[in-house]
Chains A and B, each alone.
Chain A
């Protein structure tokens, strides 16, 4: 910078002196005077130069100071209140011993890979942050490409939570995943397997149980962590399949009618009691009980109840590098009681379904996790031909590699046992790749 400005300065000063000092030109014949003037000129120039240099240095210093303070200011203000945005993409390629139609029945989750070939499981845009002193808010928008190649956009979740109500209370409102069990709330990119458990696809539909509503939770003043959730949500739509669902859909051969939500009795109520404790420095546990009560669209007065229990145990070595080694055991068991057909109706029956999954993860070395999941799902009565109620079993070993916190590669094998397929068994291999861009992902327990 200095060297560029310097010659310009010299020319300006020199020409300025010659232009506005005609006597200097007249005396140019006298070499003594000329030399004297030249000396003066040099001195003047040197002084000017020094002055300019000092000014520039001072300015540069001020500039660096202001940029530094503004950077520090930015740092402190963005802390804790910054908007977090992230985009995660989940892509799978796989092949199965059964055709695509059969595969779609086996992989009933809307974000499960379900095609021989490539599946874009889930591209999720998350935006969240602190609204003000009182609220936090978050929205998750999903982009998906379905089996017909159509792009689907879904507002998966958009909700607020209160930040600091008294007495350990917290209110959540909007569109959100119901707090039932451990798995239902998890987004596909945090799943430990490429697909969602069979029983959850059956009871809660492909997208998991989520709807519009509000819930209150109470962090109890106990010595251990104990939290009680109580919620009310709309019971209508494809994401509350065991309840009002969509008219024309079918459960256990009973076609659903268009049942309106007329009063508070037609809402879906949920309760969850979650307990957590450290058994030791290396072993922690979560134990939860959940319940759902709501109307179903089998008739104008029928109801559904779903109950579940979930257990999560995690061991992490006392000396661990990047969270490894660890072992985690997650088990959930659910049962559903579904009143089908109005009272007095000849086809009236109580549909009883149950299911469970149990999975173990072993993070044996930093970045590497081996997993094994076992699942069963069944219903009372003759349900052999119904892909959503027959007796299903599935065994899924997998291996996941995290090159960094922001990407993963997963290989999973599924062995399926079914009653509704002619083949009775299916073997499928999936290879999944995930990336996540943007804000740092939360390390959830």
Chain B
């Protein structure tokens, strides 16, 4: 009987606690690109944080204790998927013991399922081929049109988890979509000179960027994905660059530039360091910034 009197007090406490928790939607993302889009859509109603830095290769992150704490407290986890986080997300999800963000629940959103993935590997796959992503190439955020696709599903998920602000999320999405579509025309115009141009990439990470801006990635500096170039592989690449008169090499800021410099010395090929993610450079804060920066690097006058 006495316990019954205590019951309302617990209820009040619970209400206060849960009320606080619902004030903002706690969103954890595996990359800064996802965080940037989520922030644009969620505005003041979401608390967004990225588990990894845009200056690093997200595939090689480790499940740090601080990440466990963050995922434990999250309402929504946004991931790139397509095996990008395969090394660290499964142990992280297990340690974080948060049922809300487990696969299959509304708090878990794999954005790779919202876009058409390129480079799906058909037929026999062997690890002798290097880091092959059988589900498709996971660098899909580098196509602004995919950004819109991701944002649409993201906004709907926000609305589902926080129906009170559903309208705001949807309005923000429409604004985002319009802005990207307008900008996309400008970006394409600025990179018009890349049309159908053969380009060498360091890693197989620019296929979506190539698709969006209509250039052709004809070869990679890495002889196989994830495998560092050897003297022999660089030698044959020098021959190819000379023969086919390829004059642009693009590389992410986090890759070692020695082999790119070597190719430049041997063939005169222009090396452009292309930021691959929000946060890759200190001046890239939003998804829009990312493409502004990429365009700045790749447009004819911005050449270095």
A443 touching B61, Cβ below 8 Å: yes
Q: Contacts A163-B97, A440-B87 given: A321-B57 contact, CB under 8 Å? A: yes
Does A319 sit at the interface, judged by CB under 8 A? yes
B61 touching A224, Cβ below 8 Å: no
- Docked Cα-Cα span, A110 to B86, in Å, equals 31
Does A18 sit at the interface, judged by CB under 8 A? no
B94 touching A161, Cβ below 8 Å: yes
Does B64 sit at the interface, judged by CB under 8 A? yes
A277 touching B86, Cβ below 8 Å: no
A404 touching B226, Cβ below 8 Å: yes
| Contact residues in A for B53 (Cβ distance below 8 Å) | 281, 318
The residue of chain A having its C-beta at the shortest distance from the C-beta of B70 within the complex is A225
Does B293 sit at the interface, judged by CB under 8 A? no
A168 touching B63, Cβ below 8 Å: no
Does B264 sit at the interface, judged by CB under 8 A? no
A444 touching B227, Cβ below 8 Å: no
| Contact residues in A for B254 (Cβ distance below 8 Å) | 319-321
Q: Contacts A225-B68, A366-B256, A445-B65 given: A320-B57 contact, CB under 8 Å? A: yes
Range of interface residues on chain B? 35 or more
Query: What's the least CB distance linking A354 to chain B, in Å?
Result: 27
- Docked Cα-Cα span, A426 to B53, in Å, equals 46
- Looking at chain B's contact residues, is the secondary structure mostly helix, strand, loop, or mixed? loop
- Docked Cα-Cα span, A163 to B88, in Å, equals 17
- Docked Cα-Cα span, A224 to B72, in Å, equals 11
Q: Which of B6-14, B99-107, B158-166, B236-244 contacts the other chain?
A: B99-107
- Docked Cα-Cα span, A319 to B281, in Å, equals 10
A-B contact pairs, 8 of them (CB 8 A): A76-B113, A80-B103, A164-B99, A223-B69, A225-B69, A276-B66, A440-B83, A445-B62
Residues in B lying within 8 Å of A, measured CB to CB? 53, 55-57, 59-66, 68-69, 72, 81, 83, 86-88, 90-91, 94-99, 102-104, 110, 113, 127, 130-131, 135, 226-228, 253-256
Residues in A lying within 8 Å of B, measured CB to CB? 75-76, 79-81, 84, 136, 161-165, 168-170, 219, 222-225, 274-278, 281, 284, 286, 316, 318-323, 365-367, 404-406, 440-445
Additional A-B contacts beyond A219-B68, A404-B227, A405-B226 (13; CB < 8 A): A79-B103, A225-B65, A225-B68, A276-B65, A284-B64, A284-B65, A320-B60, A323-B62, A365-B256, A367-B228, A406-B127, A443-B87, A443-B91
Among all A-B residue pairs, the 3 with the closest Cβ atoms:
A276-B65, A164-B99, A80-B103
